[in-house]
Amino acid sequence: MTTSAETSRVDGRALDELRPVTITRNWLDHAEGSVLVEFGRTRVLCAASATEGVPRWRRDSGLGWVTAEYAMLPRATNTRSDRESVKGRIGGRTHEISRLIGRSLRAVVDYKALGENTIVIDCDVLQADGGTRTAAITGAYVALADAVATLRERGALVGDPLTGSVAAVSVGIIDGTPMLDLPYSEDVRAETDMNVVMTGAGSFVEVQGTAEGAPFDRAELDALLGLAEKGCADLTALQIQSLETHGADAGGPGA
């Protein structure tokens, strides 16, 4: 494992430095909450739809529900992929990431305070350059917060259904060096790839590490977790800053 300062990255970033992150709120006109989140060239549109009522299996429980769906536009990537709607089935990767985003958001939701309301967050990757699932979670939280605010304005909520915030980042080991927030060109070279979801308070919600090349030892794992803690803290700060800006960035691409 190498962590020497001289290791250089594709884009000149420090090993523990995020790519430029942009969080544009209210990118859509209809959705109760909507965010265009960018981690470098990765660009994900997160739209939160809040409706009264809950799925059948949860009715009359007094509890709300939050879920998420992730998808990628066919030409988000370097070469075009076939649409899952055309293929008639959703792939394993899409399923997996949709479930991850939903679980991550639910970790900070108080269903009782939400009441029998449902919030669905759609995360559509418009352009992919590594870290789409972590950008999606980070943006989805902000869209969720806006949807909750919309519900409150509509008088559909009394308490606060959000018990905290969540953000997510990828970390990986390349040529033995742990690094934060990998773009695609680094991701394909990584021996180990890990996605970490944390609350704003610094606890872990999800840790998903995979040895793509060689298995990793405990020391490497510890180094990766340390980088992820730093990255999630930085993202949490950006989320707070974005949510404090009062509707300032509303209006979409034409604004």
Question: Residues annotated in the binding site, as ranges?
Answer: 93, 131-133
Q: Which of 103, 152, 189, 230 binds its own copies (CB under 8 A)?
A: 103
Binding window for its own copies (CB under 8 A); candidates: 2-10, 53-61, 122-130, 171-179: 122-130
Give 253: exposed, middle or buried? Use CB within 10 Å, 0-12, 13-18, 19+.
exposed
Phi, psi (rounded to 5 degrees) for 232: -65, -35
Task: Answer for the pair 163, 109: CB distance below 8 angstroms, yes or no.
Answer: yes
Q: What are phi and psi of 211, to 5 degrees?
A: -80, 110
* CA atoms within a 13 Å half-sphere pointing along the CA-CB vector of 79: 0
| Whole-angstrom distance, CA of residue 176 vs CA of residue 199 | 28
| Given 5, 6, 12, 30, the residue binding its own copies (CB under 8 A) | 30
Count of residues that interact with its own copies, criterion CB under 8 A: 74
Q: Which of 23, 35, 44, 47 binds its own copies (CB under 8 A)?
A: 47
Taking only Cα atoms into account, the Rg of the chain, rounded to an integer number of angstroms, comes to 18
Tell me which H or E stretch contains 115.
none
Instruction: Specify the stretch interacting with its own copies by CB under 8 A; choose among 8-16, 60-68, 70-78, 170-178.
Output: 70-78
Nearer to its own copies, 63 or 207 (CB): 207
Of positions 207, 238, 243, 250, contacts its own copies by CB under 8 A:
207
Q: Does 43 bind its own copies (CB under 8 A)?
A: yes
Phi, psi of 13 (to 5 degrees): -70, 160
Q: Site for its own copies (CB under 8 A): which residue of 126, 149, 156, 233?
A: 126
Which 156-175 residues touch its own copies, going by CB under 8 A? Answer: none
Q: Considering the rule CB under 8 A, would residue 203 count as an interface residue with its own copies?
A: yes
- In the three-class reduction of DSSP (H, G, I as helix; E, B as strand; rest coil), residue 13 is classed as coil
Binding flag, residue 230, its own copies (CB under 8 A): no
